[in-house]
Amino acid sequence: NAAQSDYLITTIKAVDEDSGENGRVSYFLKVDNQNVGETPEFSLDKDTGELRTKTFLDREHKAEYQLVIAAVDNGTPAKFESLRLLTVVLVDDNDNAPIFASPLHQFSVNENLPPGVIVGTVKATDKDSGENGKVYYHVLEGNQEGAFTVDRTQGTIRANISFDREKQSDYTLTIYASNNPILEHAAAILNSVDNATDGHEPSVTVVRVRVKDDNDNEPKFQHKVYYAGIKHTALVNEPIISVIAEDPDLGENGTLVYMVAASNLYKFGDSQSSGSVVPSPFNISQDGILMTAHYMAEYNQDRFVLDIIAQEVAPPQRRATAQVYVWIIDRSSLIRMVVSRGCSTALGGVTRRLASASSALLVPGRRLPLVQADRRYDDWCEIHLHAVDPTTYQVLPVEKVLETIDSKYDELKDVYQEYGVETLIAASATSKAPDSFDPALAALIALLIVLFTGIVTFIVVCACLKHWVIPPPSLQSSKGDSLARRRILEELSTTENPLWLETKLRPYEEQELTMNVFGDQNEQPPAEPAPTDNTYATIQGSRTTERFGDYATLGNDSPTPLEAALGFQGSTFKPPSPDTPEPPPRPSGLGIL
């Protein structure tokens, strides 16, 4: 096997009993009925008969060769020839390593099967023959726990254990094929695999075993009891809490459906349930999010105990159950805690410490990034909690709980520092952020105010016009009356001596008396006046001109413009007595009618 070139295979010898040239024999290879001295693989010396190789011969390529040898004498006139068949068999040498047909083998096995189950078989081939061609299989790595055994001569892989997919779902083995029944230098072999130029060593294969799933696990909730709170102003489909059950099985075997089995209502202050509300005011999504199905305002200050079921889709459809306590609360029952941590940070530690310090059950509610002055801080978190009596499940007053917590500040300051607790106050004490200014709304309000004012003004004007009676202009009024009134007022406004004013005002007093004398023509005749001791003179109207004392009156005359301008000013004169001297003459310019 694997003979080198010019390798002497044999020497061919033929005998001719003739003498001389007739008995000298020459050797040839017969190819296509022609005598030749060589072929691509062999050469034959015609004089010595030595048969040699011309090239490298590989038994795995061709195990034997059939040659026809011709022995020819050199006699004359005719040459005699003798033929013989020569078979050249290449002897095997262990010059080939076992080779796997594929660098990767993949198998699968069901979980929960008993040990000894056949997982699969690997096969490597060796071109050598006999003992040189025998292949032995060895596990180089991946079987540290002894989960498999490999038949050394057959390459059969068997399970040594009963597999549990939920514990380990995949295994990887590295198997080496060798002509040696005993594994030697495993580390060097692995190193050669790592250093292979193409990343593959033909004598090594990787076996991957996948454990198939069986529906052998039942669903389980993370907790048996959950606590949550929701404000009484909550709308429909508002999320409350995540209630997730887990089934480690794969695919449909691990698929669950959620349902609210009962919604037991506990009225405020009651320790006994009023019964299950149908239809339930709550829904649960198929990813385990509990949400409101109705408005919560009618259940303010009440609480619910919900029975939640998670059921498998695949047979045998096993179930898991949990209870969710839900309190319907208002803002006055909430505690506001602000921490300088993101909302994704686990804060169960601080909640438990605060609950322990207050001897109450602190139920976490809304958890959102902190928003102040219309700015959002994602690295800060605002958490709302409410405190519950762990025995009666009644909501505790916020002030009482905070007072208890504040009294233990020294015990809790390390917790505050660890979790970054910045604020812990009543949520009702938080000032509400001002609403943002809406120009459109402001313009609408202003327009409505203007319209309302205009309508009210219009109504008032209409009402006034309805009762406003404009008297007809006086027939006696004229431009002269106005001038006379003005002249009189100017005279009265001078700074003359009051003694002179008396002489000027006397004619006006006479005119006042005249105004009292003449009444409305349409009035009834006045009755006989009763005697009076009034210091002011009163003269009744008369149809004739009379003379009384020093004053003249003209009956049934209309008031002069001067009288109309002055109006009634009152009179202070008395009728003259016979002993009274006659008054001085009147000022020129005012005649007696």
> In 3D, which of 409, 388, 406, 384 has the Cα closest to residue 397?
388
Per-residue pLDDT averaged across 555-569, rounded?
48
Residue 571 has pLDDT above 80, yes or no: no
Residue 307 has pLDDT above 70, yes or no: yes
Shared domain check, 260 and 364: no
pLDDT, tens digit, for every residue of 329-384? 988 889 998 988 888 777 778 888 888 888 899 998 888 888 887 888 888 999 89
Shared domain check, 316 and 255: yes
Tell me how far CA of residue 327 lies from CA of 270, 330, 360, 365, 451, in angstroms: 13, 10, 15, 10, 48
48's tokens: 């010595």
Residue 553 has pLDDT above 50, yes or no: no
Residue 218 has pLDDT above 50, yes or no: yes
434 domain-assigned: no
Tell me how far CA of residue 525 lies from CA of 529, 530, 531, in angstroms: 11, 15, 18
Residue 241 has pLDDT above 60, yes or no: yes
Residue where one domain finishes, among candidates 390, 411, 429: 429
Pairing of strands 361-372, 303-312: unpaired
Per-residue pLDDT averaged across 151-157, rounded?
94
* SS3 state at 157: strand
Shared domain check, 289 and 185: no
437 domain-assigned: no
HEC secondary structure over 424-452: EEEHHHCCCCCCCCCHHHHHHHHHHHHHH
Shared domain check, 236 and 173: no
584 domain-assigned: no
Q: What share of the chain in percent tops pLDDT 70? A: 75
Instruction: Grade residue 170 by pLDDT with cuts at 50, 70 and 90.
Output: very high
> In 3D, which of 580, 567, 584, 592 has the Cα closest to residue 502?
584
Residue 540 has pLDDT above 50, yes or no: no
When mean pLDDT is compared over 56-65, 362-371, 436-445, 564-573, the highest value belongs to: 362-371
pLDDT at 517: 44
Q: Check which CATH number belongs to the domain holding 73 and give it.
A: 2.60.40.60
Burial call 440-471: b when 16+ CB within 10 Å, e when fewer? eeeeeeeeeeeeeeeeeeeeeeeeeeeeeeee
560 domain-assigned: yes
Shared domain check, 174 and 81: no
pLDDT at 320: 96
* Cα(497)–Cα(368) distance, integer angstroms: 93
Q: Would you say 307 and 261 are in contact if contact means Cβ atoms under 8 Å apart?
A: yes
16's tokens: 């001719």
Tell me how far CA of residue 196 lies from CA of 192, 202, 394, 416, 448, in angstroms: 6, 10, 72, 58, 88
Q: What is the pTM of this model?
A: 0.54
Shared domain check, 423 and 405: yes
pLDDT at 473: 55
pLDDT, tens digit, for every residue of 427-448? 887 644 444 456 788 888 999 9
- Show the beta-strand stretches assigned E in 47-126: 50-53, 64-73, 81-89, 99-100, 104-110, 118-121, 124-125
Residue 559 has pLDDT above 80, yes or no: no
Residue entry with tokens 């001897």: 359
Shared domain check, 173 and 226: no
pLDDT at 423: 87
Shared domain check, 287 and 339: no
pLDDT, tens digit, for every residue of 419-430? 888 888 988 876
474 domain-assigned: no
592 domain-assigned: no
94 domain-assigned: no
Output phi, psi for 9, to 5 deg: -85, -50
pLDDT at 344: 78
When mean pLDDT is compared over 131-140, 238-247, 452-461, the highest value belongs to: 238-247
When mean pLDDT is compared over 106-120, 451-465, 473-487, the highest value belongs to: 106-120
Shared domain check, 111 and 24: no
State the total domains in the chain: 5
Residue where one domain finishes, among candidates 306, 329, 352: 329
Shared domain check, 225 and 320: yes
pLDDT at 530: 47
More confident residue, 76 or 296: 296
Shared domain check, 129 and 61: no
pLDDT at 464: 82
Residue 575 has pLDDT above 60, yes or no: no
Residue 543 has pLDDT above 80, yes or no: no
Instruction: Grade residue 169 by pLDDT with cuts at 50, 70 and 90.
Output: very high
Average pLDDT, the chain: 80
Residue 476 has pLDDT above 50, yes or no: no
* Cα(513)–Cα(563) distance, integer angstroms: 10
Instruction: Grade residue 488 by pLDDT with cuts at 50, 70 and 90.
Output: low
Output phi, psi for 502, to 5 deg: -60, -40
pLDDT at 509: 58
Residue where one domain finishes, among candidates 212, 230, 249: 212
**339 burial level (CB within 10 Å; 0-12, 13-18, 19+):** buried
Domain with 391 in it = 331-429
Q: Would you say 104 and 123 are in contact if contact means Cβ atoms under 8 Å apart?
A: no
Q: Check which CATH number belongs to the domain holding 348 and give it.
A: 3.30.70.3310
292 domain-assigned: yes
Shared domain check, 245 and 140: no
What DSSP string runs through 338-396? EESS-TTS--HHHHHHHHHHHTSEEEEEEEEEEEETTEEEEEEEEEEEEEE-TTT-PBP
pLDDT at 328: 94
